[in-house]
Amino acid sequence: MPDLGKIRNEIDIIDNQILELFERRMKLTEEVAQFKIETGKQIFDQEREIFKLQKLEDSAGNPFNARGIQEIFRQMMSISRKRQYQLLTENHVEQPVDYVQVDKLPIEGARVIFQGIEGAYTFEAMQVFFGRDIQSSHVETWKEAMELVAEGQADYAVLPIENSTAGVVFDIYDLMAEYPNYIVGEQIIRIEHQLLGVPSAEISDIHTVYSHPQGLAQCKRYLEQYPDWEQKKVLNTAIAAKKVAEDGDRSQAAIASRTAAQYFGLKVLDNQGLSTDTNSTRFIVISNQKRFVKKAGKISIYFELPHESGSLYNMLSHVIYNNLNMTKIESRPIEGRNWEYRFFIDFEGNLSDAAVKNALRGIDAEASYLRILGNY
């Protein structure tokens, strides 16, 4: 019978040898980094790494060990690159980031676009973020808002990107990838849905309810009490309220805000159970200018990856190794490229932070494409 204690002692000896060799390897990595700093050579040499990994794999004693060697050395090379990226930053080898730091956003007299009409939650978010000293106008679609900002016909737009109950608004992610606009702020608004009808209506009169798809989704449990009601989707909760007011039909109701009820002269038929106490929507403020305020603490980026095993982990490891707290990740298919995706992530930090510079440098070097969407 094998002596387990003896075997474990021998493993400990080998582990200590591996540790010593790892330390020596990382010391050599620093010397390589110094050479690259002095010569301007790129850190990531993908062809060399692929060749070396294949050579190591071919030297393995069996297929299982070959797979393990691939995994170990792939990680070791990744760790070495991360250390080299850190050394570049420590030696003030800056990677250009064409964002301008400002003390505060220039919002006085700003031209601001929102989707929908007055009384919508987006309208409320806009007023909370900007105040009333702005020129505001509305459009029918998020795409129109994006276009007007990109073309410089508006300074900012306010767009919903995520609801705590119904989840993310995927169309906004796709539009952020399509248009050269940037996130410069965010505003979270508590959503308190109301069931609205004309002044003479009662709940027993209702046969049709209108709202934005997100509004209907967020009130799903409430609406399950009324299976006979026909649910109809419109572009905005305030547009739903406007339609009910204009039609004057007692059988119609809208799911919208109390502000919309006041704005369109509607009656609150019910406000219990439509929204949870935690139902909130996060709105982003976009601009076509690359600005970030000094106190900005969140960064949004998206990147594209080769369709290879472990590629997503390798990108996210740059965030992990630099002790940055990732707060969100979403994926979206890339049009025209089957089974390839772009990944959107949010993490805490400021573009002036060394850790952020290290992470972005690594992702930029190793992803197929990287775009910084904003620091806010």
Residue 326: pLDDT over 90: yes
H helices present in the chain, as ranges: 4-39, 46-58, 63-90, 121-130, 142-150, 170-178, 213-218, 220-223, 237-247, 258-264, 311-321, 354-366
- Can you give the pLDDT at residue 133? 80
Please say if the pLDDT value at position 95 is more than 90: no
- State mean pLDDT over 203-218: 94
Residue-level pLDDT at 371: 97
Q: Does pLDDT of 97 surpass 90?
A: no
* Average pLDDT along the chain: 94
Q: What distance lies between CA 241 and its chain's CA centroid?
A: 31
**281 labelled catalytic:** yes
CA angle 97, 98, 101 (to 5 degrees): 95
Give the model's confidence band at 336: pLDDT under 50 very low, under 70 low, under 90 confident, else very high: confident
Query: Is 114 assigned a catalytic role?
Result: no
Per cent of the chain over pLDDT 70 is 100
Given a cut of 90, is residue 244 above it in pLDDT? yes
User: Does residue 337 surpass a pLDDT of 90?
Assistant: no
Q: What is the pTM of this model?
A: 0.86
Give 204's DSSP letter.
Answer: G
Q: What is the pLDDT of residues 18-50, one digit of tens each?
A: 999 999 999 999 999 999 999 989 999 989 999
Which residue of the set 123, 283, 292, 344 is catalytic?
283
- pLDDT tens for 121-137 read 999 999 999 998 889 99
Per-residue pLDDT, 69: 94
Q: What is the pLDDT of residues 339-363, one digit of tens each?
A: 889 999 999 999 999 999 999 999 9
Look at residue 180 in the predicted model and tell me its pLDDT: 97
- Residue 17 has a pLDDT of 97
């090379």: which residue's tokens? 77
pLDDT tens, residue by residue, 130-182: 998 889 999 989 999 999 999 999 999 999 999 888 889 999 999 999 999 99
Looking at the chain, the whole-number percentage of residues with pLDDT higher than 90 is 84
Please determine, for residue 306, whether its predicted confidence score (pLDDT) is greater than 90: no
Greater pLDDT, 133 or 318: 318
Among 264, 281, 343, 347, the one annotated catalytic:
281
Q: Exposure pattern of 110-143 as b/e (b: 16+ CB <10 Å)?
A: bbbbbbbbbbbbbbbbbbebbeeebebebbeebe
